[in-house]
A and B are shown apart, each in its own frame.
Chain A
Amino acid sequence: MKNFLTPWAGLRAVVVFVYVFMLGPILITAAVSFNESNRSQFPPSGFSLQWWQRALAPEWVDPIIFSFKLGALTALISTLLALPLAFALARHRFKGREALVALTLGPLMLPTLVTGVGLLQLFQYAGLRDYIGFTALLVGHVVICLPFAVRTVAISLHTLPPNVELAAASLGAPRWLALRYVVFPLIKNGIVAGAVFAFVHSFTDVNLSLFLVRPGEQPITVKILGFLEYGFAPTLAAVSVITLILPLILVAIVEKVSGLGDFIYGERERV
């Protein structure tokens, strides 16, 4: 009986707790989406695919595709910006470095809601009202996703074995060949991880997106929130399951291909 008080038992309890409150809602949502009636009922009564049918109509599929495009482009741009930024921050001490750190990582501290309001006002007062919609969303998402991309690339630069670039240079490799054959292959996983983080963060954002949408140009999260104002229908449960599963599948694929998990969990071995 005293086994209950060991640290391991405590850890097990925490794990169970986390799983119940993380997976529980997902399973309940998934179950509700198969309800026969138009009510959020659990356990579901009857079995029907009608909500799934509705979820796959353009009304829902379009914002999902929109979110995917937005997330993919955000990930691409954030990563392209993050590479030079991370190099500069990780490698060089220069005037204004602190300011650059604050600018790059700042959005992490700021509530995205505030960033969203700010961006909306900026676009309005700067006469860029026409760009509200996809373009404004893209700008906003890059701002809030950049810290993730910079962080992961900077971490992978820091974990680079210290002298490999000098070794490459001494063996006759000019800087760009050293980058291509030595540095890039070693930080590749960090870059991919940063891009995935950026994508997921963009895909799940609602706070910032809320302010920058226009009819026909809104991500799935905003669409879900809007729909919720009228009440709940099992359609929403089906849509939620789709928006949950898609990024998970993406992460799983990337993980399989590039061993992302090693990076995230810091298990990569070093020479």
Chain B
Amino acid sequence: MSEPALRLAGIEKRYGATVAVAGVDLEVREGEFVTLLGPSGCGKTTTLGLIAGFFPPTQGEIYLKGRPVADLPPFRRDIGVVFQDYALFPHMTAGENVAFGLKMRNLPRAEIGQRVREALELVQLAGLSERAPLQLSGGQRQRVALARALVIRPTVLLLDEPLSNLDLKLREEMRVEIAGLQRRLGITTVFVTHDQGEALVMSDRIAVMNAGRIEQVGRPADIYERPATRFVAEFIGRMNFFMKENKILAIRPERAKLAVERPASGFAVRGTVHHVLYLGATLEYHLTLEGGERGLVEATNDGSTPRFAAGENVWFTAPLESCFAMPAR
């Protein structure tokens, strides 16, 4: 347990004057599922490419189980990659796709056959070995890509937005399935996504990236409940912000409440209900607050709180333990 399975030490990637990755440090423990989360252009896919070895870092070192690999070509790194578009070989069957990595390792035929069968069973595609990628559905192609990456028993598995081409229902199924598979196999995984829901559900830890840097690394609950920067707070979930001197005060909409009277303690500011969104399980109150700021309150529709209508004057309140401060930047 001494050496992390993967360690990025100050890696940078520049293309001329453009900085894609601006100094990233990250440790991924053996068997851990770490997500790189961020908007498009934040450098998360470039970071993945650097780990895979598709291009060299401009600066910094990458360690796989303590061994520096930044100078190794991708075919000598033992890293499994699942691409966003799956990148299956269209002229090969599903089975041949999965067998490719084993053939490149010159394994005996019988062993290849055995391991391909096991890998296809693992992703519930037993019996579809002879199908060409074109004859498979999107979800099945995804599974073939996963089996192809897993069958080589890689040191690290890299997943590049593998769910973004699937429809909503399938995506939610695959989230649970991939996370389950990863835990069962105990395979060290780095997952790239811009979808905060995927990141929260699947990860052991999340690294939120912005403009080529990691803004915060932590367990999903840490990231959501104690965001370190305004960017993290805004990118994951929704947030009310209030400027207080040179600090920002942040309150999640589901932790805020509306009240007719000013409460004895806690944070409170006067406002007017601008409009109400009725969502069934919850109600969303959009407010115009004193000083012109806008407020958002998400109330559970459990009958315990009074309803308010547009135009009413109210207090936007929150207990102090639900407020957190972050540096204004």
Residues of chain A at the chain B interface (Cβ within 8 Å) = 161-164, 166-174, 177, 181-182, 185-186, 269-271
Per CB-CB distance, the 9 closest pairs between chain A and chain B, nearest first, are: A171-B101, A163-B87, A172-B104, A167-B87, A169-B74, A271-B90, A170-B81, A163-B83, A271-B133
A161-B90, A182-B89 known; A167 and B73 CB under 8 Å? no
Provide the residues of chain A in CB contact with B74, threshold 8 Å. 166, 169-170
A270 and B90: CB pair below 8 A? Answer: yes
Residues of chain B at the chain A interface (Cβ within 8 Å) = 52-54, 73-81, 83, 85-91, 100-101, 104-105, 133-134, 141, 148-149, 152
A170-B74, A172-B75 known; A177 and B83 CB under 8 Å? no
A163-B85, A166-B52, A166-B54 known; A171 and B134 CB under 8 Å? no
| Cα(A174)–Cα(B91), bound, Å | 19
Please tell me which one of the listed residues B53, B77, B83 contacts residue A167 in the complex, with CB atoms under 8 A apart. Answer: B83
Q: How far is the CB of B30 from chain A (nearest CB, A)?
A: 20
A166-B54, A186-B91 known; A174 and B85 CB under 8 Å? no
Please tell me which one of the listed residues B54, B79, B80, B88 contacts residue A271 in the complex, with CB atoms under 8 A apart. Answer: B88
Q: Which of B53, B77, B100 has the most CB of A within 10 A?
A: B100
| Cα(A269)–Cα(B133), bound, Å | 11
Q: How far is the CB of A267 from chain B (nearest CB, A)?
A: 13
| Cα(A163)–Cα(B82), bound, Å | 10
A164 and B100: CB pair below 8 A? Answer: no
Please tell me which one of the listed residues A174, A186, A269 contacts residue B75 in the complex, with CB atoms under 8 A apart. Answer: A174
Pairs across A and B, CB under 8 Å, 7 listed: A166-B81, A171-B148, A171-B152, A172-B76, A172-B152, A174-B75, A270-B90
| Cα(A256)–Cα(B241), bound, Å | 68
B87 and A174: CB pair below 8 A? Answer: no
Give A164's nearest chain B residue, CB to CB: B87
Give A165's nearest chain B residue, CB to CB: B87
Please tell me which one of the listed residues A164, A170, A172, A177 contacts residue B89 in the complex, with CB atoms under 8 A apart. Answer: A164
Provide the residues of chain A in CB contact with B52, threshold 8 Å. 166, 170
Give B86's nearest chain A residue, CB to CB: A271
Provide the residues of chain B in CB contact with A271, threshold 8 Å. 86, 88, 90, 133-134, 141
| Cα(A171)–Cα(B53), bound, Å | 12
Provide the residues of chain B in CB contact with A170, threshold 8 Å. 52-54, 74-75, 77, 79-81, 149
